[in-house]
């Protein structure tokens, strides 16, 4: 039994007892309870408007650029403008009401009309040999109406309708986002 009391040279020495750590002093300042924000708290129609206007301007510029470069008006660009505006309004506005859908639809239509008007101005400035900046600076509402009427085709109504639909559908958070 003498062997049972002798320790092996390969055994570990006994570990020291765990150190006692004092707990930190309790906080004396009151911490407000965490508040969960609801989707209604995050909604912002002005943010949706600004983002939608920017998207409509980008879409109008893309519409005019593609039409001028290809010398062909692609009606499906209206669907792209509607989609772009709708997603911009949705991401920035985070709205769940129909007001955001109406905003997206109106801005999508405005983007399509601006794209057509810009295209007409580019073509007219080329034909007349006038710089585009001069053309845009001197356009009046009457001239814009005449230019748009001269470029109008009945199929445009279909594509404007699709743009309005896309702008409305994609602007509302929680709306079905399937294509």
Which tens digit of pLDDT belongs to each residue from 20-69?
766 666 666 655 555 555 555 689 999 999 999 999 999 999 999 999 99
Question: What is the per-residue pLDDT across 117-176, written as a single tens digit (0 to 9) for each?
Answer: 999 999 999 999 999 999 999 999 999 999 999 999 999 999 999 999 999 999 999 765
Whole-number Å distance between alpha carbons of 144 and 120: 9
Q: 17, exposed or middle or buried, with CB in 10 Å at 0-12, 13-18, 19+? A: exposed
Tens of pLDDT, residue by residue over 153-167, are 999 999 999 999 999
The predicted pLDDT at position 16 comes to 72
Which pLDDT band, with edges at 50, 70 and 90, does 2 fall under? low
| Prediction pTM value | 0.73
């Amino acid at each position: 039994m003498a062997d049972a009391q002798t320790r092996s040279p390969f055994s570990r020495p006994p570990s020291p007892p765990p150190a006692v750590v004092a707990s930190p002093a309790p906080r004396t300042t009151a911490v407000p309870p965490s508040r969960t924000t609801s989707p209604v708290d995050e909604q912002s129609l002005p943010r949706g408007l600004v983002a939608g206007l920017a998207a409509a301007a980008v879409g109008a510029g893309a519409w005019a650029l593609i039409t001028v470069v290809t010398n062909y008006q692609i009606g499906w660009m209206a669907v792209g403008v509607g989609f772009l505006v709708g997603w911009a309004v949705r991401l920035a506005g985070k709205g769940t009401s129909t007001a955001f859908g109406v905003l997206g639809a109106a801005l999508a239509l405005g983007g399509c009309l601006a794209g057509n008007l810009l295209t007409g101005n580019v073509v007219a400035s080329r034909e007349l040999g006038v710089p585009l900046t001069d053309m845009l600076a001197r356009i009046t509402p009457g001239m814009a109406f005449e230019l748009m009427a001269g470029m109008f085709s009945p199929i445009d109504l279909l594509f404007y309708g699709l743009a309005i639909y896309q702008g409305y559908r994609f602007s509302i958070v929680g709306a079905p986002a399937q294509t």
